[in-house]
Amino acid sequence: MGSRWTKARRWVPYLIGGAVLVAVAVALGAQQGWFSPAGRTSGASSPAEDFLALALERARGGDAQGALQALEVAIAADPQGAAEAYYYQGLIQAELGDLTAALESFDQALTLDAHMVEAYGARGTTHMALGRPASAREDFDKALEISPDHASTYVNRGQAYLKLGIDDLALADFNRAIELEPTLVAAYFNRGVFYLQREELQQALEDFSRCIELDPNLPAPYFNRAVTYVQLGDREKAVADLGVFLNLSQDEESRHQAETLLQSLTE
């Protein structure tokens, strides 16, 4: 290959690093689907439950601050029964970027309900975002003790193992997630990143392609598959995937990276 191809390959380590961050975010999104107020028993609701329902309605409508205000009222109305309200408060705070406050909210939720599996999972992903994989692993371990068949938790714990340098357990967790939920895109995506980082390129290609089969509108797998094609020496397919990524992605930083890589492949 010529110098232009060498220039393209220099982007690979940086792009892989970005892909790992995407993978964690995808797993966090899956985590938030664990708990639903639909499981409550029917009958007359309390003021705390009414304000919790209002908070969720506001959150679904995009009013994060209004949701937090309603959650504060729900907590004040029933401090001893506020585990669920603290959990949702933590999710919203994490979404707003206040990770320290989110941790405090998840701590409060678990103080009130030590078996709240979704709070362990959410606190674990928050620890990951703060660069604390050992604490994250402890929370994911606890979540899996309570709910051993939750695939997304294996994905998240696999990420923690990767950060801790325990590669064999990371791969085992990604594999277990796929066994439990064969259509879980985050599991294939994370495993693909695992393989790509270790230059096991055919396995990475298969996993990113599987992500695209499962969700063809998700930008990140196209980005990572393009990087894989770069490593394999298939410039044409890399260019095609970068084009799809640019059509789908709204993230300006990632688009800039893709455009720079695309230029290096086509100039």
Contact call for residues 180 and 149 (beta carbons, < 8 A): yes
Enter the tokens of residue 88: 């949702």
Q: What is the full DSSP assignment across 218-257?
A: -HHHHHHHHHHHHHHT-HHHHHHHHHHHHHH---HHHHHH
Q: What is the pLDDT of residue 44?
A: 63
CA 117/CA 134 separation, integer angstroms:
18
Enter the tokens of residue 218: 């998700």
pLDDT tens digits, one per residue of 99-111? 999 999 999 999 9
CA 115/CA 129 separation, integer angstroms:
23
pLDDT tens digits, one per residue of 134-190? 999 999 999 999 999 999 999 999 999 999 999 999 999 999 999 999 999 999 999
Residues 6+ apart with CB under 8 A from 223: 15, 19, 241, 242, 245, 249, 254, 258
